[in-house]
Amino acid sequence: MKKIFLLYIYICFAGHLFAQATIYPAAQQAESIRIDGATIHIGNGETITNGSVVFDKGVITYVGDVQGAPSSAKVINATGKQLFPGFIAPNTNLGLVEIEAVKATVDFAEIGENNAHVRSIVAYNTDSKVIPTIKFNGILLAQTTPRGGLISGSSSIVQLDAWNWEDAAYKIDDGIHVHWPALNTNRFRFMSDGQIAEAKKQIEVRKTSLLSFVKEAKAYAVNSSDNTVTNARLAAFNKVLDGSSNLYVHVESAKDIRDAVLTFTDLGLKPVLVGASEAHLALDLLKQHDIAVILKQTHRLPSKEDEDVSLPYKQANMLYEAGVLFAFAVDGFWEQRNLPFMAGTAVAYGLPYEEAVKSLSLNTAKILGIDKQTGSIEVGKDANFIVTIGDALDMGGNKLIHAFIQGRNTEVNSLHKQLYDRYNHKYAQ
């Protein structure tokens, strides 16, 4: 019976997977291209009105006014249009899950508490139907991130137009994700003193286990030639210790933020905080230790009854005003298509517009460690950008005309658009 059921799921699936088989990853950039006339949001806070961007072999070669632009093999007129760096979605499950409720499609959380050695990149499914729907809204790069346990494993950064994961890889193993053990104080009112004490004890046990692991990893790295046993988890953490990968620490409350930052800085590590829904209560500390934050989804409810109704919308600006480096983010996978609107809402609640764009592009690239290659429309960087008819941070304006990734003119289409076309066809019959 179970087999028949699985077979059924498989058949349904197989049928649907081919539904978008006509959306092809784009070919390499064959000739130099110049885009003229758009308002260019560079991604570093500046704009150029009526500007030009020239790019060749996947790399930007000119950014400036139209008058000074060199000639190119192909010219695209984008007068009245807007040009943004491709948005980068940090902390996503993209490509690691197709349908949340169908276990067979879920690949983002390995069993066990410590999975420092697992790597998301190998499970990243470039054929996920979700990916084109994300790119459809201007997201060109994503951090595909494992979840669960105390140490979830390594994330990687991928570009969203690829035949396979090796092609998609933009930066492999960009960081290891740690979930700071946290008490749910909102539950306290339902708990007895004894239960609270027990919960606190459990948290301490988990913290100790995390810290011992980091200390052992340090010792393991120093004495690598003397190690009598080989340990994949300890070895995997070396890339964090030598600075080639980030340490992402998922943490929420102000108290835990304080604990996590002080603990890791004591160990000589500089964490990137992920979530940090109470980061606004720890601004001094974040500033003092130069800690960056990947924000919790802006479109969320306040976490406490008394909290300012609009706090989640205002938080980005609070971090900006305090000078804390941050990037916008959204929970999940298909939800990533709403990433630009998180930034838009933050603008409605005080964040300067170009700062909002920056926290979807250059700031994100800086935090993820890919700002040398991408994140802004600057000479020498990859030609990762979008051209839209209007304001990409607003629902009405977020309509893409072009999406270039590494200079490749990718198709702006998705299963969703195809279904729309299919039924328009039906009703026109």
Partner 1 sequence: MTKKHLLALFLSFICIISLKAQESYPVNGSKDERPRLFALINATIITGNGNTIQDGTILINKDKLDYVGKNIKVPESYVVYDAKGKYIYPSFIDLYSTYGIEQASSGARASWGAPQVFETQKEGAYAWNEAIRSENKAYKVFSADHKSAENLHSFGFGAVQTIAYDGIVRGSASLVSLSKERENMIIISPESSVNYSFNKGSSRNSYPSSIMGSVALLRQTYYDADWYSTQSDEFNISLREFKRLQKLTQVFETSGLTDYYRINRLQDEFGVKYLIKANGEEYKRLDFVKSMNSPLIVPLNFPKAPKVDNPMEASALSLSQLKHWELAPSNPSQLETQGFTFAITSAGISKSTDFWKNLRLSIAHGLTEEQALKSLTSIPAKLIGVEHLLGSLDKGKIANLLVVDQPIFNPNAQILENWVQGNQYILKSDIVNISGSYQVGSDKLEIEGKPPYKATYNGKAVRLTQEGSHVWIHPNDGNLLSIEAYIASRDPFVLQGHQLKENGETSPWKAIQTGSKTSSPQEKSKEVDLNLGDIVYPFNGYGYTQIPSAQTTLFKNVKVWTNEAEGVLEQADVLIEKGKIKAIGTNLKAPAQAVVVEGEGKHLTPGIIDEHSHLALESWNEAAQAVSAEVRMLDAVNPEDINIYRQLAGGVTSSHLLHGSANPIGGQSQLIKLRWGETPEGLKYNNTHKSIKFALGENVKQSSRSSTGNRFPQTRMGVEQVFEDAFTRAYEYKKAKSKKSVQFRKDLELEAIVEILDGERDITCHSYVQSEINMLLELSDKMNFKINTFTHGLEAYKLADKIVERGISVGTFADWWGYKYEVIEATPFNASLLNQQNVLVAINSDDQEMGRRLNQEAAKMIKYGNTSEEDALKMVTLNPAKMLHIDDKVGSIKVGKDADLVLWSDNPLSIYAVAEQTYIEGVKYWDVQENEEKQNQMALEKARLLKKLLRTQTPKQN
Q: What residues make contact with partner 1 under the rule CB under 8 A?
A: 9, 12, 16, 19, 97-102, 130, 185-186, 188-189, 253-255, 299-302, 304-306, 308-310, 332-335, 337-338, 341, 344-345, 347-349, 393-396, 398-399, 415-417, 419-420, 423-424, 426-427
| Of 379, 414, 383, the residue nearest 399 (C-alpha) | 414
Cβ 84 vs Cβ 43: under 8 Å: yes
- State the nearest-atom distance from the C-beta of 308 to partner 1, in Å: 6
Phi-psi bin for 63: left (phi > 0), alpha (psi -120 to 50), beta?
A: beta
Task: Please name the amino acid found at residue 140.
Answer: L
Pairing of strands 74-77, 82-85: unpaired
- State the nearest-atom distance from the C-beta of 354 to partner 1, in Å: 15
Q: Which is nearer to partner 1, 380 or 396 (CB)?
A: 396
Cβ 86 vs Cβ 385: under 8 Å: yes
- State the nearest-atom distance from the C-beta of 12 to partner 1, in Å: 7
- State the nearest-atom distance from the C-beta of 81 to partner 1, in Å: 16
- State the nearest-atom distance from the C-beta of 133 to partner 1, in Å: 8
The whole-angstrom separation of Cα 80 and Cα 90 is 30
Q: Which is nearer to partner 1, 67 or 426 (CB)?
A: 426
- State the nearest-atom distance from the C-beta of 134 to partner 1, in Å: 11
Dihedral (C-alpha) 103, 109, 111, 115: value to the nearest 10 degrees?
A: 160
The whole-angstrom separation of Cα 225 and Cα 176 is 23
Q: Which is nearer to partner 1, 246 or 414 (CB)?
A: 414
Residue 281 structure tokens: 């209560």
Q: Which residues make Cβ contacts (< 8 Å) with residue 284, sequence separation at least 6? A: none
Q: Which is nearer to partner 1, 224 or 424 (CB)?
A: 424
Residue 253 structure tokens: 């409350």
The whole-angstrom separation of Cα 71 and Cα 195 is 71
Neighbours of 295 (CB within 10 A): 26
- State the nearest-atom distance from the C-beta of 285 to partner 1, in Å: 13
- State the nearest-atom distance from the C-beta of 177 to partner 1, in Å: 22
Q: Which is nearer to partner 1, 79 or 185 (CB)?
A: 185
- State the nearest-atom distance from the C-beta of 235 to partner 1, in Å: 35
Question: Exposed (0-12), middle (13-18) or buried (19+): which is 397, by Cβ within 10 Å?
Answer: middle
| Of 377, 281, 270, 287, the residue nearest 325 (C-alpha) | 287
Angle at 72 between CA 66 and CA 77, to 5 degrees: 50
Q: Which is nearer to partner 1, 160 or 347 (CB)?
A: 347
Q: Which is nearer to partner 1, 243 or 420 (CB)?
A: 420
Q: Which is nearer to partner 1, 99 or 269 (CB)?
A: 99
Task: Please name the amino acid found at residue 174.
Answer: D
The whole-angstrom separation of Cα 43 and Cα 138 is 14
Euclidean distance between the first and the last CA atom of the chain, given in angstroms as a whole number: 42
Stated as kind and residue range, the H or E segment containing 15 is: helix 2-17
Q: Which is nearer to partner 1, 89 or 325 (CB)?
A: 89
Cβ 61 vs Cβ 72: under 8 Å: no
- State the nearest-atom distance from the C-beta of 102 to partner 1, in Å: 5
Residue 333 structure tokens: 């996978």
**DSSP 8-class letter at 382:** B
- State the nearest-atom distance from the C-beta of 130 to partner 1, in Å: 6
